Amino acid sequence: MTTVITAVRLRLAFIVGLCILFLTAGSAPVFADSASSGGDIAVAQSLGDRELTVMLRRVTSVPGPLRVEVITHAGTAPGRLTLAMTPTGTNTGSSTLPAPGVPTARANVDLGGTPGSYSATIAVDRPGPWELAIGDGQRTARIPFVVPVQTISPPERLVYGGFLAAGVLLLVSVVVAARARRSGWALLPAGGVLVGLSVAITGAVLSASLPLPPQPGTQIDPTVGNVTNPYAVSQPLVTDYSRPPVVLTMAGTPLAAGQPADLGLNLTDGATGAPVDDLLIHDSALIHLLVIGPTGQLWHLHPIRTAPGRYQQHLMLPQPGHYALSAELVRRGGGVELVRAAAGLDVTGPPGAVAAVSPVPLSGGRTSGTTMGVTVSTTTPVAGTPTSLNARAGNAADLQPWLGMAGHLIVAGPLPPGDVGTAVQSAPVWAHVHSMGGMSTSDGSMAGMSMPGMNSGQDAMVGMVPVNGDSAPDETVAAYGPDVPFTYTFPVAGRYRLWIQAERGYTVLTVPVVVDVAAASNQGARR
């Protein structure tokens, strides 16, 4: 009898030791990535005459503080901005929280006369969709964003539950082995330990292989329910997140040269005609508005959202004539769209004085030139062949990331001689390219790069597309350049207008360039 008891106890000791080994090895299981816990969000805003970058720092706990930083640029007037936080999701049923649609917290940001960062802290009392209103006393920009919450996936619950059950049953088995008259009874909870470990290990394996659920705010419209529990199964199941193109119309008083005015931009769904209120933050803005004037001036602006599907841009255009206009945006569940205003803008009034900047002429065999202290060089541009361009801004690495990139290149053409705004209005190619310059982040990945142009005869916008929740490079850091390289493939031959943009000392440099692109030879075409 003693021999039998000893054998049982030895077997039990072996099982307990094996369980401890499993528990130790499984103390740090590999979990699946849960729904994104958010990141810093940068949103460029043209609020009246101020060109601002609004940084929403990551909310690490709810309820908790949201730090709002407003970065100003050269020429920005000092003054006070008001902030108001409004939850926009459906009511959670809690009687302790204010109803959605009503501001829950307010703060002020006092802008100084020196360009840089000015901040305030404002309270967030719940996860879900929110709207941050920023007012200057005359206009109010309304920025939608999502405050996520860290969630546990179903496989993770199996991991935690399995290890918890195994730990409890391990203690039970030890107690039973020590006190029971028949040590064999201890094998029952020990067997439960093995079952718990099996469940935990299975959950860990599944957590590494199962796909994430649709992400609120990027793939599907955010609500309080799907933000707090993104793993809840929706009915019917959504498999296609694509959405129709946007239709852009303009509203407002006729524009007169030299007179300030507010231009209204209305976005409607191409299929339903309903207001479009599902834009994502891409390249640090909800909308990138490109305006090109009759003498070749470029305005790269960022309209403010005033209501669902309604945006507003404050303008003071210096000359009468025709202005081409396009809007770059990303819809939730869709890709980048470059939407042209069908008729553009016609500005009336007497001609005004314009400080024109002569473009760098890269034509007639010239492959380099300098203007505004920036030297632009290029390889020989041939249609259908990747062309390398480089803008060298001085000799020091003192450029700041603007809109998340080291540099931007706007391309329009081929253009006939004459009025630039009218020519760009009907140009077959209008593209936006990002610099291939070094924008390495803390983990060594590249924050921005350019890609070859595409779609001859169609609009094109290429490059990385950061969306809501992605962290953007810090605009206050001046450590990039001086070289800002690009690669672009001109689809057809002809004369193109280019504008290279980079930021230094909180001033955005816009360098105009004219490029003559040669046609590909028959021999090159056969290759």
The whole-number pLDDT of residue 113 equals 93
Q: At what angle do helices 187-207 and 154-179 cross, to 10 degrees?
A: 160
Question: Tell me: the pLDDT tens digits for 451-503?
Answer: 333 333 333 333 323 333 345 568 889 899 999 999 999 999 999 999 999 99
Mark 102-119 as b/e (b = at least 16 C-beta within 10 Å). Answer: eebbebebebeeebeebe
Which option is the CATH number for 246-347: 2.40.50.1070, 2.60.40.1930, 3.40.50.620, 2.30.42.10? 2.60.40.1930
Strand residues in 200-309 grouped as ranges (E)? 246-251, 261-269, 288-292, 298-301, 304-307
Which option is the CATH number for 55-147: 3.60.40, 2.60.40, 1.10.3470, 2.120.10? 2.60.40
Task: Report which of 442, 435, 511, 507 is spatially closest to residue 475, judged by C-alpha positions.
Answer: 507
The whole-number pLDDT of residue 35 equals 31
The whole-number pLDDT of residue 269 equals 92
Three-state secondary-structure class, residue 144: strand
* Helix residue ranges per DSSP H, 83-212: 154-179, 187-207
Question: Tell me: the pLDDT tens digits for 320-373?
Answer: 999 999 999 999 877 889 998 888 999 998 876 666 678 989 887 788 999 888
CB 219 within 8 A of CB 241: yes
Token pair for residue 472? 């953007």
Please tell me the pTM assigned to this model.
Answer: 0.80
In the predicted model, is pLDDT for residue 119 greater than 60? yes
The whole-number pLDDT of residue 323 equals 95
- The top-scoring range by mean pLDDT among 46-55, 199-208, 355-364, 429-438 is 46-55
In the predicted model, is pLDDT for residue 181 greater than 70? no
Domain positions in the chain are 2-33+152-207, 55-147, 246-347, 360-526
192 versus 266: the higher-pLDDT residue is 266
Q: For the CA atoms of the chain, what is the radius of gyration?
A: 30
Token pair for residue 353? 């004085």
Q: Domain 360-526's class? A: mainly beta
In the predicted model, is pLDDT for residue 22 greater than 60? no
Question: Tell me: the pLDDT tens digits for 63-97?
Answer: 999 999 999 999 999 999 999 999 997 765 555 77
The whole-number pLDDT of residue 505 equals 94
Sequential DSSP letters for 18-73: HHHHHHHHTSS--PPP-S-----EEEEEEETTEEEEEEE----SSSEEEEEEEEE-
The whole-number pLDDT of residue 302 equals 97
474 versus 424: the higher-pLDDT residue is 424
Instruction: Report DSSP state, residue 152.
Output: -
The whole-number pLDDT of residue 160 equals 74
Mean per-residue pLDDT of the chain: 81
In the predicted model, is pLDDT for residue 445 greater than 90? no
The whole-number pLDDT of residue 205 equals 73
Calculate mean pLDDT across residues 190-211: 72
Asked whether this chain's domains 55-147 and 246-347 adopt the same fold, the reply is: yes
234 versus 14: the higher-pLDDT residue is 234
CB 73 within 8 A of CB 508: yes
In the predicted model, is pLDDT for residue 257 greater than 80? yes
Calculate mean pLDDT across residues 406-420: 94
In the predicted model, is pLDDT for residue 182 greater than 70? no
Question: Tell me: the pLDDT tens digits for 293-328?
Answer: 999 999 999 999 999 999 999 999 999 999 999 999
Question: Where does residue 512 rank: exposed (0-12), middle (13-18), buried (19+ CB within 10 A)?
Answer: buried
pLDDT band, very low/low/confident/very high, at 15 (cuts 50, 70, 90): very low
205 versus 423: the higher-pLDDT residue is 423
- The top-scoring range by mean pLDDT among 7-16, 229-238, 251-260, 318-327 is 318-327
CB 519 within 8 A of CB 414: no
